[in-house]
A and B are shown apart, each in its own frame.
Chain A
Amino acid sequence: MRLSMCAAAAVLALLACRPAEQAASSTPAGNPEAAMDAAAAVEAVRAFDTGTTYGAPITLTEVTKVSEILNSPAEWIGKRVLVEGLVVAVCEMKGCWMDIASDRDFEKVQIKVDDGVIVFPLTAKGKKALVEGVVEQLELSEEEARAEAQRKAEEHGEEFDPSSVTGPQTILRIRGLGAVIAD
């Protein structure tokens, strides 16, 4: 893991001298400012040198701000991104998702992984995570949204109020492929 992080940092350093078009793999057209500047990205990736890796090793080197993805979700759907943020919630039962805070107040994004393939520990809450994945959008009917809300409430041992779901929902999340959670 440490080796891959060093390699990522080295590649990132090279990217600083690279023409902009080569860096477009995780940057939607028209949003060149969406990714952090190279120096900040190097720092962000370096901070995870001593972290624990989950799933596939990180391959991307440019960190994209969560707020940028949330600003224009349609432009990011299907794109592979590297995001970074504080882990603010984790699936209590299976560790099959975690929420990471956006760089902007009142926002977060969910990282969903296949059950049992990657398992995030509940103790990751409050730690920094670097996650690589593909942005996806889920369209849930009212019924599906209610079932999902009920499942989450049960998972947290909370009472579920069916009237809290009032219609179909669109969920933007990142299908996590690999992550590093700082120790």
Chain B
Amino acid sequence: MAAARWRRWNTAIHRDLGYLCAGLTLVYAVSGIAVNHTADWNPNYRVTSSSAHLGGLDPASFGAPGFARETLDRLGLEGEVRGTFRPDPGTVQIFLEGTTVTVDAATGQATWEQVRNRTGIRQANFLHLNHPKKLWTWMADAYALALVLLAVTGLFILRGRKGITGRGAWLTALGVAIPAVFLILYF
């Protein structure tokens, strides 16, 4: 009788925590894949680069009023000029909202880089990597504890051959062995 009551509680906790954690798990899973591959892509931004040849340029004109606007017009780029910067005498950078144009006097080449948010994934990364801090830190801790409870209660959902005393034991052992093997290989 006591055992049956215990199992009912175990199942109820596992079921309700599972519902509660579904959204958070998706956020963490999507972001986990995204940030796992930072060597291959930028998980937060889509950065595109373009270039055009502007021909002979006199670096002395870089500081002239109207130079930035005129250059943008020649490149067909719209938007308010937020600022300019000269990293060296032969180069000028022009900044627009989300776009940086770099003009090289020596080559007459203009390249511009446009930065766009990866909507959805950036937000997931923001939460996953705990950039908000503050209350989110507690929320993330609570979620981690909920995952512990989900894992433990999950072990005891089924009884019999497919439960923790049968096939479940082997699969659980495999789940423990996987990280252990990678630790042996790489740690």
Which positions in A face B, CB cutoff 8 Å? 86, 88, 92-93, 101, 105-106, 108, 116, 119, 122-123, 125-128, 154
A125, B115: Cβ atoms closer than 8 Å: yes
Please list 29 pairs of residues, one from A and one from B, whose beta carbons are closer than 8 Å in the complex, sorted by A's number.
Answer: A86-B82, A88-B85, A88-B93, A88-B95, A92-B42, A92-B45, A93-B38, A93-B42, A101-B83, A101-B85, A105-B86, A106-B86, A106-B87, A106-B89, A116-B129, A116-B130, A116-B131, A119-B131, A122-B42, A122-B44, A122-B47, A125-B100, A125-B115, A126-B82, A126-B95, A126-B96, A126-B97, A126-B100, A128-B83
Known: A122-B44, A126-B100. A88 touches B115 (CB 8 A): no
Chain B contacts with A in 86-112, Cβ cutoff 8 A: 86-89, 93, 95-98, 100
Nearest CB of chain B from residue A4's CB, rounded to whole Å: 16
Nearest CB of chain A from residue B156's CB, rounded to whole Å: 36
In whole angstroms, what is the CA distance A123 to B116 when docked?
A: 8
| Residue B137 interfacial (CB < 8 Å) | no
Nearest CB of chain A from residue B60's CB, rounded to whole Å: 12
Pick the 5 closest A-B CB pairs, nearest first: A126-B95, A126-B82, A86-B83, A88-B85, A101-B85
| Residue B117 interfacial (CB < 8 Å) | yes
- A106: chain B residues at CB < 8 Å are 86-89
- A125: chain B residues at CB < 8 Å are 95, 100, 115
- A105: chain B residues at CB < 8 Å are 63, 86
Which positions in B face A, CB cutoff 8 Å? 38-39, 42, 44-45, 47, 63, 82-83, 85-89, 93, 95-98, 100, 115, 117, 129-131
In whole angstroms, what is the CA distance A101 to B93 when docked?
A: 11
Nearest CB of chain A from residue B77's CB, rounded to whole Å: 13
Nearest CB of chain B from residue A98's CB, rounded to whole Å: 13
A122, B115: Cβ atoms closer than 8 Å: yes
A123, B131: Cβ atoms closer than 8 Å: no
Chain A residue at minimal CB-CB distance from B97: A126
| Additional pairs, 13, CB under 8 Å, beyond known A106-B87, A119-B131 | A86-B82, A86-B85, A88-B85, A92-B47, A93-B38, A101-B83, A105-B63, A108-B87, A116-B130, A122-B115, A125-B95, A125-B115, A154-B39
In whole angstroms, what is the CA distance A126 to B131 when docked?
A: 22
- A154: chain B residues at CB < 8 Å are 39
Nearest CB of chain B from residue A51's CB, rounded to whole Å: 14
A126, B83: Cβ atoms closer than 8 Å: yes
- B93: chain A residues at CB < 8 Å are 88
Nearest CB of chain A from residue B52's CB, rounded to whole Å: 19
